[in-house]
């Protein structure tokens, strides 16, 4: 924020645009060297003067209130006067519109997120997609876009033939109602075990799927039942994660929309036969062909994604299409987007796959086939139990400890995911994630709760000393405050928030915000240890209390952007 102001002042003296000046401005490694340094080398040519001369001239011309400039060789060193600028910054940081950007100009971003598969466990990949997608959804809204989320359920495909076959043989309604995912999974695993011995099961499964595609009553009834029981369980998870969707449109929604796509591909001369299947060749793009119609005449995942993208563009009026899906599907999306551009949709390059790395929980991986899975519900429960234990040790009298533990445990998982660059593979340790120390969600939540108690104490101290009136006066009329190093550092960091938001959105990287939020919490804790707040001398107290207030708001707000709650007490 301050650098931006400096850039605006320097710009007219140089003939460079403010953004260019901003890019050139350096932040010196040592505090003694000033707050910013502007190098004059690149100006030598355009101004036809030696850099040292230019630096001298700029330093003389640049005398604005709150900004002190001196030439040091070819550099202009700038020092901000904290006592002048701090009250201005504090007011700015606290204003209504602070931190809202207009990057998107209202453009519509459709975000494909979560998208688990019916009758299968909600995988870790689906968790990451949900958490990253929901964060991007909110960040895009903050940046002036209109976000639209879609849960693209995997509710179609040959596995439903297997599911029906297994259910008919070994399942019943009660067991699926009781524990839908686990029992569906058991049926699925059993199907694969028994099919190894008895191949007729596969034939039966294919037959059921064919019936389903042809709208057979019994097949449809069972399919609907599977979808409903799975959704009940997914919804419980979404509730805990605090996520909802603007649209839940599974793959089956596109069943009647694929014929037109296939015809269009044929009409545009893009379909070719290959081994009895129909494909779009992508040789020139150095990719394997994109499969459109299988040998047996059925459509497949990429066909559904083509229909989906066209629907999102034409019907949902998407200006930008994001797909938050694991990195292992990169080739698939690359193929789909390339086929769209071969179909001459000029919006094909508005489609973007937002991949992410793998995550393991304490070394355990996901595998739906063999039943060796980590159930998200269990992971969340374990995190909450750990959080409760820590809370009971730290604050045995806390009211509503269970609710706080839920917010802390679930928040720890979400934050533990989002603080990593999304492409990183994560080996998740619950112990580390739930810890109240280190770069964790609970650490940020704890800092936020600590500020609340500092603020409460500050209010009490004032009342005791009957200083309320004089404090309010000082708040309205900021006095000349002595701004300490740690409060100055914290305030500057708070004022830099918009730049971090912009970076997070441009890179589709919620970790930028998660890391920034940790930095703010750390900067607050340094401030809290070095400078008195609640019992500060009356001349500086109003400033420090306001600074603490704005910090708490920033922490809580950023946590909410990431999908994490901020309890008032912990
Ligand atoms: N259901 C898929 C899976 O679990 C993810 C779907 C992602 N979205 C999409 N439009 N293909 O692998």
- Rounded Cα distance between 325 and 290, Å, is 18
- Structural domain including 51 reads 2-80
CATH (domain of 263): 3.40.50.620
391 and 343 belong to one structural domain: no
403 and 499 belong to one structural domain: yes
DSSP H/E element including 428? strand 426-428
Half-sphere exposure at residue 320, Cβ-oriented, CA atoms within 13 angstroms = 22
Instruction: Kindly give the distance from the C-alpha atom of residue 464 to the centroid of ligand 1, in angstroms, as a whole number.
Output: 60
Q: Which atom of ligand 1 is nearest to the CA of 325?
A: 7
Instruction: Kindly give the distance from the C-alpha atom of residue 244 to the centroid of ligand 1, in angstroms, as a whole number.
Output: 17
- Let me know if residue 97 belongs to a domain: no
Q: Which atom of ligand 1 is nearest to the CA of 153?
A: 1
**Closest-CA residue to 166 (of 180, 148, 185):** 185
Residue to mutate, 154, 366, 376, ligand 1, most ligand atoms under 8 Å from C-beta: 154
135 and 276 belong to one structural domain: yes
270 and 126 belong to one structural domain: yes
Instruction: Kindly give the distance from the C-alpha atom of residue 115 to the centroid of ligand 1, in angstroms, as a whole number.
Output: 5
Q: Which atom of ligand 1 is nearest to the CA of 308?
A: 10
- Rounded Cα distance between 2 and 90, Å, is 12
Q: Are 391 and 458 in contact (CB under 8 A)?
A: no
Instruction: Kindly give the distance from the C-alpha atom of residue 355 to the centroid of ligand 1, in angstroms, as a whole number.
Output: 12
Which of 63, 80, 97 delimits the end of a domain?
Answer: 80
Burial of 59 (0-12, 13-18, 19+ CB in 10 A): buried
- Let me know if residue 367 belongs to a domain: no
- Rounded Cα distance between 559 and 326, Å, is 24
Q: Which atom of ligand 1 is nearest to the CA of 123?
A: 4
- Let me know if residue 569 belongs to a domain: no
Report the interhelical angle of 376-394 vs 401-418 (nearest 10°): 120
Q: Which atom of ligand 1 is nearest to the CA of 125?
A: 4
Residue to mutate, 122, 325, 339, ligand 1, most ligand atoms under 8 Å from C-beta: 325
CA–centroid distance for 57 within its chain: 46
120 and 228 belong to one structural domain: yes
Q: How far is CA 444 from CA 135, 274, 433, 440, 447, in A?
A: 17, 56, 12, 7, 5
Instruction: Kindly give the distance from the C-alpha atom of residue 375 to the centroid of ligand 1, in angstroms, as a whole number.
Output: 19
Q: What is the pLDDT of residue 371?
A: 46
Q: What is the pLDDT of residue 367?
A: 44
CATH (domain of 13): 3.30.1360.70
Instruction: Kindly give the distance from the C-alpha atom of residue 341 to the centroid of ligand 1, in angstroms, as a whole number.
Output: 21
- Let me know if residue 570 belongs to a domain: no
Instruction: Kindly give the distance from the C-alpha atom of residue 247 to the centroid of ligand 1, in angstroms, as a whole number.
Output: 15
Burial of 48 (0-12, 13-18, 19+ CB in 10 A): exposed
Residue owning tokens 């876009």: 145
Please report the DSSP string for 246-260 in residue order: SEE--GGGGGGGHHH
Which residue has its alpha carbon closest to ligand 1 atom 11? 305
Report DSSP state, residue 346: G
Which residue has its alpha carbon closest to ligand 1 atom 5? 115
391 and 532 belong to one structural domain: yes
Instruction: Kindly give the distance from the C-alpha atom of residue 272 to the centroid of ligand 1, in angstroms, as a whole number.
Output: 25
Q: What is the pLDDT of residue 183?
A: 85
Specify the number of domains making up the chain. Answer: 3
Please report the DSSP string for 464-500 in residue order: HHT-HHHHHHHHHS-------HHHHHHHHHHHTHHHH
**Closest-CA residue to 559 (of 433, 450, 441):** 441
132 and 221 belong to one structural domain: yes
**Closest-CA residue to 408 (of 450, 379, 440):** 440
* Chain length of the chain: 570
- Let me know if residue 539 belongs to a domain: yes
Q: Which atom of ligand 1 is nearest to the CA of 333?
A: 11
Q: What is the pLDDT of residue 364?
A: 64
223's tokens: 């399919």
231 and 304 belong to one structural domain: yes
The ipTM, to two decimals, is 0.99
- Let me know if residue 90 belongs to a domain: no
Q: Are 493 and 519 in contact (CB under 8 A)?
A: yes
344 and 414 belong to one structural domain: no
Q: What is the pLDDT of residue 464?
A: 65
Instruction: Kindly give the distance from the C-alpha atom of residue 279 to the centroid of ligand 1, in angstroms, as a whole number.
Output: 20
Q: What is the pLDDT of residue 12?
A: 93
- Let me know if residue 273 belongs to a domain: yes
Half-sphere exposure at residue 192, Cβ-oriented, CA atoms within 13 angstroms = 10
Which residue has its alpha carbon closest to ligand 1 atom 1? 154
355 and 384 belong to one structural domain: no
Residues with CB under 6 A from ligand 1: 112, 115, 117, 152, 154, 305, 308, 323, 325
Sequential pLDDT tens for the chain (570 residues): 888 889 999 999 999 999 999 999 998 887 777 889 999 999 999 899 999 999 999 999 988 888 899 999 999 999 999 988 999 999 999 999 999 999 999 999 999 999 999 988 888 899 999 999 999 999 999 999 999 999 999 999 888 999 999 999 999 888 888 888 888 888 988 999 999 999 999 999 999 999 998 899 999 999 999 999 889 889 989 999 999 999 999 999 999 999 999 999 999 999 999 999 999 999 999 999 999 999 988 888 999 999 999 999 999 999 999 999 999 999 999 999 999 999 999 999 999 999 999 988 776 654 444 444 567 888 899 999 999 999 999 999 999 999 999 999 999 999 999 999 999 999 889 999 999 999 999 999 999 999 999 999 999 887 766 444 555 555 555 554 578 899 999 999 999 999 999 999 999 999 999 999 999 999 999 999 999 999 998 889 999 999 999 999 999 999 999 999 999 999
Instruction: Kindly give the distance from the C-alpha atom of residue 251 to the centroid of ligand 1, in angstroms, as a whole number.
Output: 9
Instruction: Kindly give the distance from the C-alpha atom of residue 154 to the centroid of ligand 1, in angstroms, as a whole number.
Output: 6
- Let me know if residue 130 belongs to a domain: yes
Residue to mutate, 152, 252, 308, 368, ligand 1, most ligand atoms under 8 Å from C-beta: 152
Q: Which atom of ligand 1 is nearest to the CA of 120?
A: 4
**Given phi > 0 = left and psi -120 to 50 = alpha, else beta, which region is 114?**
left
118 and 172 belong to one structural domain: yes
274 and 416 belong to one structural domain: no
Instruction: Kindly give the distance from the C-alpha atom of residue 346 to the centroid of ligand 1, in angstroms, as a whole number.
Output: 24
CATH (domain of 430): 1.10.730.10
Q: What is the pLDDT of residue 273?
A: 95
Which residue has its alpha carbon closest to ligand 1 atom 4? 116
């Amino acid at each position: 924020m301050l650098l931006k102001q400096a850039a605006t002042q320097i710009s007219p003296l140089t003939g460079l645009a403010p953004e260019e000046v901003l890019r050139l401005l350096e932040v010196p490694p040592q505090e003694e060297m000033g707050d910013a340094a502007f190098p004059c080398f690149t100006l030598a040519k355009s101004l036809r003067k030696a850099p040292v001369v230019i630096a001298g001239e700029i330093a003389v011309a640049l005398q604005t209130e709150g900004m002190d400039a001196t030439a040091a060789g070819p550099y202009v060193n700038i020092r901000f006067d904290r006592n002048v600028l701090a009250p201005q910054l504090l007011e700015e940081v606290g204003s209504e519109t602070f931190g809202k950007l207009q990057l998107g100009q209202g453009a519509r971003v459709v975000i494909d997120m979560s998208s688990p598969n019916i009758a299968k466990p909600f995988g870790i990949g689906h968790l990451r997609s949900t958490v990253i997608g929901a964060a991007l959804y909110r960040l895009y809204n903050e940046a002036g876009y209109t976000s639209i989320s879609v849960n693209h359920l995997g509710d179609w495909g040959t596995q439903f033939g297997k599911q029906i076959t297994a259910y008919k043989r070994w399942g019943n309604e009660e067991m699926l109602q009781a524990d839908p995912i686990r029992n569906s999974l058991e049926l699925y695993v059993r199907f694969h075990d028994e099919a190894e011995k008895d191949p007729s099961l596969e034939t039966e499964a294919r037959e059921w799927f064919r019936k389903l595609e042809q709208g057979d009553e019994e097949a449809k009834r069972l399919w609907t039942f599977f979808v409903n029981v799975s959704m009940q369980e997914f919804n419980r998870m979404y509730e805990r994660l605090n996520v909802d969707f603007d649209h839940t449109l599974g793959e089956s929604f596109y069943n009647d929309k694929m014929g037109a796509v296939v015809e269009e591909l044929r009409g545009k001369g893009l379909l070719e036969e290959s081994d009895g299947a129909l494909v779009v060749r992508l040789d020139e793009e150095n990719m394997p062909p994109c499969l459109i119609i299988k040998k047996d005449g059925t459509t497949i995942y990429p066909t559904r994604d083509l229909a989906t993208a066209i629907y999102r563009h034409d019907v949902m009026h998407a200006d930008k299409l994001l797909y938050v899906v694991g990195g292992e599907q990169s080739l698939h999306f690359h193929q789909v987007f390339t086929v769209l551009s071969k179909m001459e949709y000029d919006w094909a390059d508005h489609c973007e796959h937002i991949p992410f790395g793998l995550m393991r929980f304490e070394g355990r991986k996901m595998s739906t086939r063999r039943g060796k899975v980590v159930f998200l519900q269990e992971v969340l429960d374990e995190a909450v139990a750990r959080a409760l234990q820590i809370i009971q040790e730290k604050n045995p009298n806390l009211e509503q400890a269970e609710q706080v533990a839920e917010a802390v445990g679930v928040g720890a998982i979400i934050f533990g995911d989002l603080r990593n660059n999304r492409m990183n593979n994560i080996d998740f340790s619950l112990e580390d994630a739930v810890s109240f120390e280190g770069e964790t969600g609970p650490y940020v939540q704890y800092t936020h709760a600590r500020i609340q108690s500092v603020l409460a104490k500050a209010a009490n101290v004032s009342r005791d000393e009957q200083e309320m009136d004089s404090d309010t006066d000082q708040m309205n009329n900021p006095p000349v405050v002595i701004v300490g190093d740690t409060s100055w550092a914290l305030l500057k960091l708070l004022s830099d928030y918009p730049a971090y938001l912009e970076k997070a959105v441009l890179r589709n990287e919620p970790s930028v915000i998660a890391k920034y939020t940790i930095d703010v919490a750390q900067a607050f804790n340094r401030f809290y240890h070095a400078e008195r707040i609640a019992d500060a001398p009356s001349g500086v107290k109003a400033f420090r209390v306001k600074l603490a207030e704005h910090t708490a708001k920033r922490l809580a707000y950023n946590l909410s952007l990431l999908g994490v709650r901020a309890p008032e007490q912990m």
